[in-house]
Amino acid sequence: MSNCPKCNEKLSPFYMKQNCPKCNTNLVYYDLDNRLQADHEKAMREQEAVERVLNNIKTSAFGGALQIIRFVLMFSPLAWMCLPMFKANDGESVTLISVIMGIIGGGFDFSNPSYLFPVITMVCIIVFSLVVIISSLFSLGKKAFLRNTILSIINLLVLAVCIILTILQGANIGAGAIIVVVTYIIENIMHKLVDKKISK
Amino acid sequence: MAENKGDIRYVGVKETLIYGIANAGQCFGYNIIAGSYLSLFFTKVFGVPPTAVAAMMLFLGLWDTFNDPLMGSIVDRTRTRYGKLRPYLLIVPIPLGIATILLFAGPQLLGDKVTDAAKIIYMFVTYFFWELFYTLGDVPFWGMSAAISPSPSDRTRVISSARFISGILGGLSTPILTVLMDLSNKGAIPLSLSQVFLLMSILSATYGMGLFSLSGFFTKERVVQTIKEPSILDGFKALIKNKPLLLIVIGNVLAAIGGIGGFFSAYYYSEVVQMNSLTIIIYLPGTILGFITYLLIPKVKERFDNRQIIFLNGFVRLIVGIIVFLVGVKCFTNLWVVVPLLMIQNFLFSFFNTINAVIPTEMIGDTIDYMEWKTGQRNEGVSFSVLTFVGKLTGSISGTIGNALLPVIGLSFVQISATETMTVKAYEYTDTLIWGMFTLAPAILGLLPLIPYIWYDLTGDKLNQVREEMAERRAKLSIEVSGGANNE
C-alpha cells in the first residue's frame, strides 16, 4: 500500500495504472526532477563512503612494502597446505591436493581419524585465515591493531589444538603444518610493524 | 552544461550492486541451460535421441526470431505506476523458477517406462515454457540497464556490475554441476546424474530466482518514456529502422555460429579426457584476469572505440586458436600439455570475454538513445529482446550444428539401462575431430561477426552528438513532466 505523492490518496499495491485515480497525476513522473536530484545526492554519499572503505583497504593491504608482505604472507598457508601437512597412521602423506583428489575420486577415507582430523585442521586454517585476512584489510583505526592481534592469536591457538588432536589420532606432523605455525607467528609480528608504520 | 548533465551519477553503489547480484541469480540457472549441459542432459541422462534435441533447438531457435521481439514489443507497450520494466522483474522469477525445475524433472516425473515420443513431447513443452518466461525476465532486465539512468557512465557501471558479479556468483553453477557429475559418475555421492541435474535446477529456482527478483524490488527506472504506448507494429518498425542495432544483431547472429566451440568443450572434457571438473582448474587463471579486466575497461575505452575493440578481439582469438590447435593436435589427451595450454588460452580470451560482456550491451543502449534522438521513441524492450534472442540463439545454433555434427564425427550414446548410457566412438580420429571443433573451428568462425561492424558508425563524434543532444532534451523533459503532466 502506498499513497499518491500529490493528493495522498491511498493506492493498493495491485493498482497498476500510471495515473492517480483521484487527481490523475502521473505517478511515475510526478516530482521527477527533485527525485533525480535526491538520487544524485544519495549516489554521491554512497560513492564517498565506498571510497573511504577502498582507501582503508588500499592503505592496509598495499600501502607499503610491509603491508604487501603481510598480505602475501596471510595467503601463504594455502601454498603450505600443498606440502605434507600430516602423515596418516598408514604412512600416507596428507596434503591439500591429496584431500581434493581423494574427494573427487571418491576414495578418501573419512572413517579413519588420522585422515579426518588433518582435513578438519585444513578447514580451520582456511576459515580462520580468511577471517584474519578480512580483518587486516581494515587496519586503519584505533582498535584495528588489537582486533588483528586477537584474531591472529585465536587462529594460532585453534591450529595448535587441531594439530594436537590430529597427533592424538595417530598421525605425525608434517613440514606443511610446522611452516603454517611459523607463518602465523610472523603474521603477529607483522601486525605490530604495520600498525607502527600506519600510526606514523 | 549538457555534457555535465549527461554524466551526473544517479545510481548509487547499493543499487549498482543489487543489479549485479540479480544478474548472478538469473545466470545461475541460465549457465546450465545455455551451456551444452542441457544437450548433455537430454541426450545422456534423459535418453532423448540427439536428432530430436537438434530439431528442438532449431525449431525453438527459429520461433525465437519472432517471439523475442514480440515479447520486447509487449514490454515496450507496458505502462504502469511501477514503470514499464519493473513489473516483469517482480513477477517473472516465480514462473521461471517452476519452469526451470520442470525442465530437469523429466526422468523423475516420467520414470523409466516411457516411450521416446513421450520424452520428446515433455522436452519440447518444458523447454518452450522455460524460454518464454526467460525472455519475459531477460528483456526487461537488460532494458533496465538503459532505463536505470540517463547517464552513460551509470549504465556502464551497472552493466559491468552485472557481468562481474554474475561471473562470480552466477558462474558457480557450472563448477558445482561438473563436480557433482564427476562425484556421481564415480559413485562418491548417492545421487544419479538425473538427480544431480534436478538438484541443480532446484538450486537455480530458489537461490537463483530469489536473487533475480531483487532487481524488481530495488532498482528504479529514471529515463522518461512517452506516456502513449507504442503499438506492437511500432516495435518491429523501430527494430528495422535502427541500422546500428541491425548491424549488431547480424554480428551477434554470425558470432553464434562460432559458439560450437563451447558446445564441443563439454564433450571434450566429458568424453575425451573424461574429467568434467578439469574446467575448474583450466578456467581459474582466466577467471581471475577476467575480474581484474573490469577495472581496466575505462582505460581500454580511452584508447579504442567499441568497434575497434571488437575487431581486436576477433583477430586475437584467431591467432591464439590456431596456435592452441596445432600445439595440442597430437597430444590433446596428455593433461600435462593440455591443461597449461588451455589455461593460457583462457587467460588470454578472458580479457576479451570481459570486455565483450560489457560492450555489446552498452552499444545496444547507445542504439536506443540513437533511435530516441531520431524518432522520439525509446524501445528498450524490443532492442534488448535482440540481446536475449541472440544469447539464446548462440546456444540454439551451436547446439543444433553441434548435435547434427555428433554422428558425423562418430560420437553417439547407447542407453544400456534407465540410468546408464555408454559412449560409442565410431572412428579412430573422433577425438581429434572433437579437439578441432573445440579449438580451431571457433577461432576461424570468429571472423564472421566482424563483417557487419565494417559499416557500424555510431562511434566517435556522431555518438557524442547524440549523447549531448539527448542530455539537453532529457533535462528539459524531466522539468516538464515533474508536475505529473502527460508527456505525449
- Per-residue confidence at B14, pLDDT binned at 50, 70, 90? very high
Q: A132-136 long-range contacts, Cβ below 8 Å, gap at least 24?
A: A132/A74, A132/A187, A133/A71, A133/A74, A133/A75, A136/A60, A136/A61, A136/A70, A136/A71, A136/A74, A136/A191
Q: For residue A127, with 0-12 CB atoms within 10 Å meaning exposed, 13-18 middle and 19 or more buried, which class applies?
A: exposed
C-alpha cell at B348: 588470454
CB-CB under 8 Å, B222 with A39: yes
CB-CB under 8 Å, B188 with A103: yes
CA–CA gap between residue B188 and residue A125 (Å, rounded): 25
CA–CA gap between residue B198 and residue B100 (Å, rounded): 9
CB-CB under 8 Å, B481 with A43: no
| DSSP-assigned letters across all residues of B29-92 | HHHHHHSTHHHHIIIIIS---HHHHHHHHHHHHHHHHHHHHHHHHHHHH--BTTBSSHHHHHHT
What's the pLDDT score for residue B488?
44
pLDDT: which is higher, B171 or B139: B139
Among the listed residues B166, B226, B122, the one whose alpha carbon sits nearest the alpha carbon of residue B34: B166
CB-CB under 8 Å, A46 with B80: no
- Per-residue confidence at B63, pLDDT binned at 50, 70, 90? confident
CB-CB under 8 Å, B186 with A17: no
Count A/B contacts: CB-CB distance under 8 Å. Answer: 84
What's the pLDDT score for residue B4?
43
CA–CA gap between residue B245 and residue B249 (Å, rounded): 6
Runs of H (alpha helix) within A2-112 = 32-62, 65-75, 77-80, 96-105
Query: Which uninterrupted H or E stretch holds B212?
Result: helix B209-212
CA–CA gap between residue A47 and residue B11 (Å, rounded): 10
CB-CB under 8 Å, A39 with B12: yes
C-alpha cell at A132: 584474519
Residue B392 backbone zone (phi > 0: left; psi -120 to 50: alpha; other: beta): alpha
Kindly give the pairing relationship between strand A2-3 and strand A86-87.
unpaired
Dihedral sign, Cα of residue B338, residue B343, residue B346, residue B348: negative
CA–CA gap between residue A90 and residue A103 (Å, rounded): 18
Q: Which residues of B touch A103 (CB under 8 A)?
A: 188
B90-99, B327-336, B382-391, B477-486, range with the lowest pLDDT: B477-486
Are B180 and B200 in contact, with CB atoms under 8 Å apart? yes
The verdict on A33 touching B (C-beta cutoff 8 Å) is yes
State which of B422-431, B447-456, B467-476 shows the largest mean pLDDT: B447-456
Q: Which residues of A touch B187 (CB under 8 A)?
A: 106
CB-CB under 8 Å, A105 with B186: yes
- Strand, coil or helix: what is A31? coil
What distance, in Å, lies between the first and last C-alpha atoms of chain A?
55
Q: Hunting for cell 533447438 — which residue is that? A: B57
| Residues contacting residue B243 through CB under 8 Å, at least 6 positions apart | none
CA–CA gap between residue B278 and residue B281 (Å, rounded): 6
Alpha carbon distances (Å) from B222 to B219, B245, B348? 10, 23, 37
Choose the closest CB to A29 out of B9, B80, B482: B482
Give B458 to chain A, closest Cα distance, Å. 28
pLDDT: which is higher, A141 or B11: B11
Q: Which residues of B touch A31 (CB under 8 A)?
A: 482, 484
| DSSP-assigned letters across all residues of A174-197 | -HHHHHHHHHHHHHHHHHHHHHHH
Q: How many CA atoms lie within 13 A of B281 on its CB side?
A: 15
- List for chain B the helix, strand, coil content (%; round to 5): 75, 0, 20
- Alpha-carbon B145 to chain mean position: 15
Q: Which pTM value belongs to this model?
A: 0.75
The mean per-residue pLDDT over the stretch B91-112 comes to: 92
Choose the closest CB to A28 out of B9, B81, B179: B81
Residues B230-272 have pLDDT tens digits of 777 887 788 788 899 999 988 888 887 777 777 888 889 888 8
pLDDT: which is higher, B441 or B488: B441
What's the pLDDT score for residue B35?
66
